[in-house]
Structure 1
């Protein structure tokens, strides 16, 4: 069970704890029920003084009528003497099911009752009232307290109220209502006391170490109470005391000495039927049935087509056994006996009895020992019989009770000897014993009403407003965790500040006492901050060593990185950063630290519209020897860094002869045969592979389609000179050792061979001489790639036999081209 903070449990320096549990969510209720002696001993002094002639105004604002009673308390006999009483019915249905729906109309009826009584008693400034049990919530709570020595009435009272606050806290935590701040505690009853594990009826005068009280508290929607307050304020009345209607009734008819019996009291009004149950010496449960006398009135109105008020009058007369005459809405006249009115609505009466019996079983578990019916609705014919039948009880154990005699109240006039006078008499009695009046306080400019059942503190007001101070305290700032190598280092955030409480303009705390009209302001605390830590706060610069680059002395310092990126000492750290500090181990790291890009300068250009990057790879020498950037570096090393400052277009595009020609082999020599053309521009101007390129250039590169290379193209490329026609020599052309024709294709890497054969001598004898005579001229130099680049000058042509003009396009050759005519 949850423990209640002692600062809100009671106005005492003793340690107290409380626990609570929900016993019902919609129909049950709990309130105060104590003996007159107990209330006098444990309660605060009532608002009414104890001298002779001091008046108490009891007001029962019911669904059908308003009953007022004024009584004076006399100290000599410790009795309330009824001075005056009056009642007045509502002319309209201003109230439904015990809830005020038309505040001005209800206030007008209260005003008439008040003026009638004031004519007999003098001015009335406040009134004690009771609320109907519509939308009740009941919470059972326990409160404990360490006690030393003799237990006083003040200690018992504090323990009771600790239980009430525990019940209020339990309602807030139970989530049975959407907004617990919209509910008021309208009363409570102490179910039992326990002192050192021994159950007692009362703690006053006892000795022990640990006392406990089990309390049942009742809560009603704030709207019910607020509307009642509004009606009272409209008549210049303050709410002196508030209780629950069944609590009021039970204090009249079931004295504490009879509460060891399992008894049920049902207050049947016009709109609701409120239930209270006693057992084992205390009130154990409260409940409510949303059906009452108006259900029968409505049934008569519907059956005979009557105005509701006329139907109510007919119901009462028929209940008294009188014959009735009336005219319905159609103008038809009726003269009926009482039975002719009651018999048609018997099913409705039986339904009401069934609902009451069902609620009793739900609260009590089984049939009680006896049931007492009070309130105007209890006079409904046959209702008691139907309730007994529904509960399976003897008919004589369910009875309608009238307040013929009430302990503590004398001089009852005859008009109060009726079942509907039980509740106003009970209100009167409770108001004389212990006054639970309201305090109006403001929390953050919103008004709240608190029951003044003891000296209230700011803690009580915040609990009523549903404010948890922890939510107003500033939150701690987020911490900072960084990784330094293999270690983690944590820097906590600053703490938030506590919320401040102002009572008026002065600072206060939870235990500060409040009074009516108090204005409480909660100033939220400020949140803490995340610490600001810079890299230099954690690490210092690394070790320095010297190297020489291009003859210049360079001082290289150990590198410190955050998440892999080099950082300076002023950089702020973020949560989760990884800090690493290590010396330069490679040539590339040393060059980068010294300001030389290890992989060379980057040139950004556009090639055919696409962004591209080219690295001007430098030539690097370490101690006069070629080196790679992954090689280790040492103190005093000499580095030569030769940058490629002027890249050429051919280097950038990586153009080669293989892009525009094929290679063949002829007589152990390599020949290139043009097979495609290339067109280059830089920034819109014609360019060649030797054109220098700068950062940001726009380059276009267009290569013509590769043409098929034939055997005749290959013969021309190798400057083959065929024998003269008179030489009596024939020849065979072979590609890769296979005979071919002039129009057959030649591929990259093919081997070309020409075999000559004499027509006069055997091939084996004549071939050497003929070969010697027919040796081709020295092969012409293979054309380079530049000869195939379109430039403003006349285009270079593929190599052709000497007889071919240089400025004509090559054409396909036939055998006739190779026949000498000389």
Structure 2
């Protein structure tokens, strides 16, 4: 085979289409095409069920093409979309620095691994290890829950990604490979039918639109959707052209092949009453019907097909798309575009059958400008861009065969080898948390070491492209360790302090507790330890630390039959000056503690004098005038206020009221002596500047004056 020749095979449920083209520079020129129907139903729903039968058709197509172009040894093929599993998955990672392309790539591949795990646990497939991830698209990037177009160059705390990953079963490849080998062909390239069709009709410049491509074959209808610049999903509907064929067969009692012929005639003729389609049923009854009559008979079945496709589109796209492009032989089914538009509730012109009229960089004849040639032309375009579908690489001396549907990188090889990309670099050591004086402190562990990636003995990165025969070595990073933290690392206590207490030297140390137990600065801390420390600064704290209690001494008495207590505080001097327990202490201060004495009776009873009375002014001098008198007994004996009240004494006291004093009482109390009768003076007594008599009552604060005037003569 000429090295510039390209050979594509579209192995469909009903037929096989082979196209040979010549590659001229970057352009492709079609030079031969051949179509061959299957003799039996060797293909069901796009899957090869009878390898020898399919191989025979492939060889027949190959031989007819070889008569025109020469020997063909290699062919590019496509796997049907019905064999795909599309899974949405997410991944996230903690971020402590600016995000690099390598970080973003690692996150993407972690999401792919999550999709692989999701497939493995979905019970959808028997053996998930037999599935290849053949492609993925990023749906969203988020940093701290904020959507972004890319994470590269950003800084935050938590990066998140959501991808849609597509998986292809190995069985599909193996059966296709077996059929090709039986037809003396090698697989030069493999793509996916929806990807092949999209490459022809929806180039990357159009993928910002929300478009749906539906490839309607004989057994299934493949769905692919673009949006926001990428392919966001693939799907499959297990209904297609055969449903219409089967409906015709049932309606008119026809052999399946006869019904298939009638369906094709419907797609080639205008739906009208002017032409007729002639056929006979299995009983020999002949029919001459217009296309309109026949279409009316299968109209409900076309509606069911349209609704099934619409349901799959809504399930994948979550809403009606902007437009739908129909390709494949089944797209020519009468009324299907109109019914699909109605089911999606979009304008009828937005659903249209598309033919490969022009393809950039490809020249092909008019006979290939039919909807069912979109996929084989797409396969040809993929074949022109890659020459080897599988490559073999060695990861840590173990060979792995990779599915080469596009550019393969080192990360793809690691995925195939089952090496967790998230675990390549060593994880940071577990942090510990300690509480210091009720404040939480987070202490991180040591950082893990970076993985060492070698490609053919040279350092490389995950994004490096790989090729057949490459040797990859991976040495995973070592995890960091939990931190080793001592008490001295988290507290800064003051130095020991010397003080003199009652002429004796004491060394005062700060309080250090771990989990309420005394600790030393060299004690190692554990996760969730509770640390309490306090520098001793005031007099009260220092006295307690050396064993002195600054608490007052309490004496107990029975006073008039009632138990009572009297507290007497220790006298404290700091450097010979009175001080309280809150007094700040400096190194080498001298502290003197004077023990409290037994209180006197007056202190216990809170009496300064045994008498109660009033104050008056006599001739401008202040005088205390008793108006009542206490009688006091202690342990049954008369007592005075300055007597010592021993602890436990029984005390009784009573107040005797003398009544309101009168002026004569006041004069007597102040020691006033009236002049004798022979003194030849007159005496005038004024109370608050008013004349008063000896019996006039006196109250507190009154002013009394005695005025003596000599008599004349």
Q: So what's the TM-score if we normalise by structure 2?
A: 0.51
- Which residue matches 1:241? 189
- How far residue 402 of structure 1 moved from its aligned partner, in angstroms, is 0.7
Cα distance in 2 for partners of 1:70, 1:147 equals 55
The alignment status of 1:66 with 2:16, answered yes or no, reads yes
- The residue aligned with 1:278 is 226
Task: Assess if the C-alpha contact under 8 Å between 2:209 and 2:228 holds in 1.
Answer: yes
- Secondary structure, aligned partner of 2:196: helix
**Alignment partners' CA distance in 1, 2:140 and 2:7:** 31
Q: Does residue 261 of structure 1 match 2:209?
A: yes
> What is residue 373 of structure 2 aligned with on the other side?
421
Relative distance call for 1:394 and 1:419 in structure 2 (3 A) is same
Alignment of 1:698-737 (within 5 A): none
Q: CA deviation at 1:169?
A: 4.5
Is the partner of 1:134 in helix, strand or coil?
helix
Cα distance per residue 1:449-472 (max 9 Å; x no partner):
630356788x9789658799xxxx
Seen in structure 2, the aligned counterparts of structure 1 residues 309 and 209 have a Cα distance that, compared at 3 Å, is: farther
Contact 2:391/2:467 (8 A) holds in 1: no
Cross-structure match for 2:81: 133
Post-superposition shift, 1:309? 1.8
Q: 1:136 Cα shift? A: 2.9
Shift of 1:149: 12
SS in 2 for 1:67: strand
* Shift of residue 331, structure 1, vs aligned partner: 2.1
> What are the superposed Cα offsets for residues 342-369 of structure 1, whole Å, 9 maximum, x if unpaired?
2111111110001001111111111111
User: Does 2:399 match 1:451?
Assistant: no
> Cα 1:467–1:207, aligned 2, differ >3 Å: closer, same or farther?
closer
Q: How far 1:227 moved relative to its partner?
A: 1.4
Do the aligned partners of 1:268 and 1:274 also contact (CA within 8 Å) in 2?
yes
Q: Which residue of 2 aligns with 1:719?
A: none
Q: Determine the C-alpha separation between the residues in 1 that align with 2:264 and 2:226.
A: 31
Mean Cα deviation higher: 209-218 or 427-436: 209-218
Give, in whole Å, the separation in 2 of the partners of 1:147 and 1:235.
Answer: 57
Aligned-partner Cα distance in 2 for 1:302–1:271: 17
Q: How many matched pairs?
A: 417
* CA 267–305 in structure 1, closer or farther in 2 if over 3 Å, else same: same
Call closer, same or farther: CA 1:335–1:298 in 2, change over 3 Å: same
Matched, 1:300 2:248: yes
Matches within 5 A, 1:144-543: 167-189=115-137, 191=139, 199-200=148-149, 215-321=163-269, 323-409=276-362, 411-434=363-386, 437-439=389-391, 450-452=402-404
- 1:164-210 CA distances to partner (integer Å, 9 max, x unpaired)? 55543543355543320232334444557899988558x9xx97899
- The 2-side partners of 1:442 and 1:349 are apart by 52
Contact 1:132 1:272 (C-alpha < 8 Å) held by counterparts: no
**Aligned equivalents of 1:194 and 1:425: distance in 2?**
38
Superposed counterparts of 1:760-771, under 5 Å: none
Instruction: Identify if the C-alpha distance between structure 1 residues 278 and 455 changes in structure 2 by more than 3 Å, giving closer, same or farther.
Output: closer
Q: 1:151 to 1:436 in 2, by over 3 A?
A: farther
CA distance, structure 2, for counterparts of residue 123 and residue 190 of structure 1: 42
Distance 2:98 2:382 in 1: 31
Judging changes above 3 Å, is the alpha-carbon distance between structure 1 residues 214 and 425 closer, same or farther for their aligned structure 2 residues? farther
Q: Decide whether aligned partners of structure 1 residues 255 and 408 sit closer, same or farther in structure 2, where only a CA change above 3 A counts.
A: same
Instruction: Note the alpha carbon deviations across 1:670-720, whole angstroms, 9 max, x for none.
Output: xxxxxxxxxxxxxxxxxxxxxxxxxxxxxxxxxxxxxxxxxxxxxxxxxxx
Task: Determine the C-alpha separation between the residues in 1 that align with 2:341 and 2:408.
Answer: 46
When the two chains are superposed, the root-mean-square deviation of aligned CA atoms in Å is 4.2
Counterpart-to-counterpart distance in 1, 2:140 and 2:8 = 29
Between the aligned partners of 1:290 and 1:79, the Cα distance in structure 2 is 36
Query: 2-side partners of 1:455 and 1:251: how far apart?
Result: 19
Secondary structure, in 3 states, of the residue corresponding to 1:266? strand
Distance in 2, matches of 1:169 and 1:118, equals 46
Kindly indicate whether the alpha-carbon contact (under 8 Å) linking 1:268 and 1:373 is maintained by their aligned counterparts in 2.
yes
Distance in 1, matches of 2:246 and 2:115, equals 38
Match of 2:45 in 1: 97
1:87-126 → structure 2 map (5 Å cutoff):
87-126=35-74
| Separation of aligned partners in 2, 1:326 and 1:448 | 56
User: How many Å separate the matches in 2 of 1:400 and 1:124?
Assistant: 33
1:424, 1:155 → 2: CA distance? Answer: 38
Indicate conservation of the 8 Å contact 2:394/2:469, yes or no: no
Residues 392/214 of structure 1: CA separation in 2 closer, same or farther (3 Å cut): same
**Deviation for aligned residue 1:156:** 9.7
CA distance in 2, matches of 1:198, 1:122: 55
- Which ranges of structure 1 fall in alignment gaps of 5 or more residues? 1-47, 469-509, 519-822
1:266, CA displacement in angstroms?
0.6
Query: Secondary structure of the equivalent of 2:223?
Result: strand
